[in-house]
Structure 1
Amino acid sequence: MGYRRGDGAVMPGQGVVRGPTLIDEVRRRIRARHYSVRTERAYVGWIRRFVQANGRRHPRELRAVHVQAFLTALAVEGQVAASTQNQALAALLFLYREVLGCALEGLEDVVRAKRPQRVPTVLSRSEVSALLLHVEGRTALLARLLYGTGMRLMEGVRLRVKDVDFERCEITVRDGKGGRDRRTVLPSSLVAALREQVAFALAIHAADVEAGAGDVWLPQALARKHPGTGRQAGWQYVFPARGLSVDPRDGRQRRHHVDEDVLSRQLKRARIAAGIVKPVGAHVLRHSFATHLIESGYDIRTVQELLGHKDVSTTQIYTHVLNRGAGAVRSPLDRVDGA
């Protein structure tokens, strides 16, 4: 007689038999909906915290009042950001609706974490130039690409060879925020360097294929519907990882894209070297891209399309610019002083 672990393995010499755990089922449902690995990890983490906060009782024994108390404690005692509380709520709603098949009602009294209204951190053109000058190594091109296209960090590292159009100087961003595709500009100044990077990525892929590997992760059920697609050159990442790694979902060995934390660390070092006192992350490059376009007189609708914002009101945050463009504001002190 043996027992069955959460991963389905049967261990000898034990007298207890059990089926998949709750977390196993959560993971199965998440993967059936093709959610990202990041989302899976976040949801599982929140569900575990919720269970632990309620004395490790099974969620079937808990009700909306327990969810309400958990979310309120995050805001009041934990003082988490509004986005963090919303993520926890999404995880618990997924648990009850998709896994347990229960409707959760009565969450209207949850104390919501306050969402601060902040203008984005933006670098001047000279600051961007100084920052990029100090970004070194294989991430230097990626940093320039994020600023030159307005892509988010994960959109950049997940860029595939087939989505770079050198003839039209366009990049197609697949499955961006909200699951939307869009096109953005490919800076002509980066064409030569990006061609070299693509050639480098394809050379690595060819070596992987020669060694019996060369498969890349494919979205949704594409790999099952079209066997062999993952070995095609066009589906390879433009910025591949240095080595092969094991996919945590299916245990297969593949070459993933470069770790996004590599660029984050480079930007931190570059900021210090450039003497920039503002906080700088990859998203600041996206903010700077949008602001500099508006400063140059581009229509806000154009900027909205390049950024992939669903609503133009999201893009309007970049109109905080005070000293550039047609809507520039000049301080009255400058006129008094004759400046």
Structure 2
Amino acid sequence: MPTITTKLIRYKGEKRIAIYFEKNAELIQRVKKLEGIRWSSTLKAWHLPDNEANRIRFKIVENLPSAEGLQQIELFKKYLLSKRYSENTIKTYSEALKSFLTFFRDKKVSEIDNQDVITYNNEFVLKNNLSSSYQNQIVNAIKLYFSSIQDRKIEIEKIHRPKSEKKLPNVLSKEEVKLILEVHSNLKHKTMLSLIYSCGLRCGELVALKPIHIDSKRNIVLIKNAKGRKDRIVPLSPKILEMLREYYKLYKPITYLFEGQNAGTPYDERSLPQVLKQALKKVGITKPVTLHWLRHSYATHLLESGTDLRYIQELLGHNSSKTTEIYTHVSTKSIQQIKSPFDDL
């Protein structure tokens, strides 16, 4: 049996366990049976969710910060909590700081300086091919930690950020969206996907909706405590309202609009990608579509139909218009009017 080595990694923002071994047909078949296993041609490794069961299975012991580092992380968490940062932000920032302080576990926190940040970026972030967005999270966490918890010699302003990637949002055509939304025979699944697209919702916003947030008199949906702890309203499509009424009569939700197997509990956000995956398989779309593509498509289709960018910014809940302006680069409305010189040859 070939030697198996493992490594804790972050893949597309998710904590995973990478498995490395020499090519072996029998072992590959065994590995394929593990829950949540995936192959990465970039990493040239199989990888699966980083959870307690998998750590026990592969006998993985995680490196931790020093006792001082752990104490500082707890202080940082309490600070973030007192400032009323969202649960997701607290988790992201404290995990980022934990990674940084683990890297320097043999060094006193009081002795960490700007050069150490550069070393961490080069020897950990870049060496492990971690994304620029993850590096950005690290910078945010370090800057906030040293400016709030530590009265330190570290020069916060000199911590450099990675050059942002100029990635365009992925967008589906209206025809593709129609196929995806209509293929499900399960009314709950069909309604969830349709609501994400018709209102430009994030997954977390969908599962947090309650029946009282649907205002049929004013034809709006109230999205409470969304990203950045902001409330916003979006227009409610008459077609969606009819679908919601049909859904409500059949499922009779108690607390949340879309509930899980136990009444009164929200639908598991982690199950939503499977709902989309089933739809994609049925209609034969092989693109790596995610639920966020529906939100991108909503914004782009609004722009192409003539909706002012400022309104789209409000509907999506963006703080900055620059975030919304990216959709102008994927809208085909103006591009389609350009005649290629090839046509005149």
CA–CA separation in structure 1 for the residues paired with 2:159 and 2:139: 13
1:131 to 152, 177, 180: 180
How far the C-alpha of 1:83 sits from its partner, in A, is 1.6
Matched with 1:193 is 243
- 1:71 touches 1:89 (CA, 8 Å); kept in 2? no
State the 1:148 CA deviation: 0.3
- Listed as ranges, the gaps of 5+ residues in structure 2 are 1-67
Amino acid at match of 2:267: V
Counterpart position of 2:205 = 155
1:146, CA displacement in angstroms? 0.9
SS at match of 1:92: helix
Counterpart Cα distance in 2 of 1:169 and 1:61: 58
Partner of 2:76: 26
Judged with a 3 Å threshold, the aligned counterparts in structure 2 of structure 1 residues 60 and 239 are, in CA distance, closer, same or farther, namely farther
CA apart distance, 1:197: 5.0
> Which residue of structure 2 lines up, in the alignment, with residue 331 of structure 1?
339
Contact 2:117 2:159 survives alignment (8 Å): no
Does 1:281 pair with 2:330?
A: no
Residues 65 and 127 (structure 1), Cα distance of their counterparts in 2 relative to 1, 3 Å cut = same
Contact 1:146 1:156 in 2 (8 A): yes
Post-superposition Cα deviations, 1:90-121, rounded to whole Å, max 9, x if no partner, equal 222333333345474155264x4332212221
Alignment of 1:24-103 (within 5 A): 24-102=74-152
When the two chains are superposed, the root-mean-square deviation of aligned CA atoms in Å is: 3.1
> Counterpart amino acid of 1:316?
E
What does the per-residue CA deviation read over 1:201-236, in whole Å, with 9 as the maximum and x for residues that have no partner? 8x654xxxxxxxxxxxxxxxxxxxxxxxxxxxxxx4
- Higher RCO by CA contacts (8 Å cutoff, separation 6 or greater): 1
- Matches of 1:304 and 1:109 in 2, distance apart? 30
Match of 1:243 among 262, 269, 279: 262
Matched position secondary structure for 1:178: coil
CA distance in structure 1 between the aligned counterparts of 2:136 and 2:153, rounded to whole angstroms: 18
CA distance in 2, matches of 1:61, 1:136: 61
Partner of 1:317: 326
Displacement of 1:68: 3.4
**Matched letter for residue 238 of structure 2:** S
The question of whether the paired residues in 1 share the 8 Å contact of 2:200 and 2:298 is answered with yes
Q: Which amino acid aligns with 1:70?
A: Y
Q: Percent identity?
A: 29
Provide structure 1 residue ranges, at least 5 long, that are not aligned to the other structure: 1-17, 206-235, 245-254
Q: Distance in 1 between matches of 2:261 and 2:135?
A: 35
Aligned partners of 2:208 and 2:256 also within 8 Å: yes
Distance 1:104 1:161 in 2: 50
Conserved? CA contact 2:132–2:164, under 8 Å: yes
**1:69 CA displacement:** 2.3
TM-score by length of 2: 0.69
Q: Taking structure 1 as the reference length, what is the TM-score of the superposition?
A: 0.70
Asked whether the equivalents of residues 136 and 266 of structure 1 are also in contact (C-alpha less than 8 Å), the reply is no
Where does residue 177 of structure 1 map in the other structure? Answer: 227
* Equivalent residue number for residue 250 of structure 1: none
Query: SS of 1:190's equivalent?
Result: helix
CA contact (8 A) 1:80 1:113 kept: no
Aligned counterparts of 2:224 and 2:91: Cα–Cα separation in 1 = 22
Which whole-Å CA distance do the structure 1 matches of 2:189 and 2:81 have between them? 31
Amino acid of the structure 1 residue aligned with 2:258 = F
What is the deviation of 1:149?
0.7
Q: How big is the shift at 1:334? A: 7.6
| Residues 1:175 and 1:103: Cα distance change in structure 2 (over 3 Å) | farther
Name whichever structure is richer in strand by fraction.
2
Change over 3 Å in CA distance of 1:128–1:108 after alignment to 2: same
Aligned amino acid, residue 274 of structure 1: V
SS at match of 1:174: strand
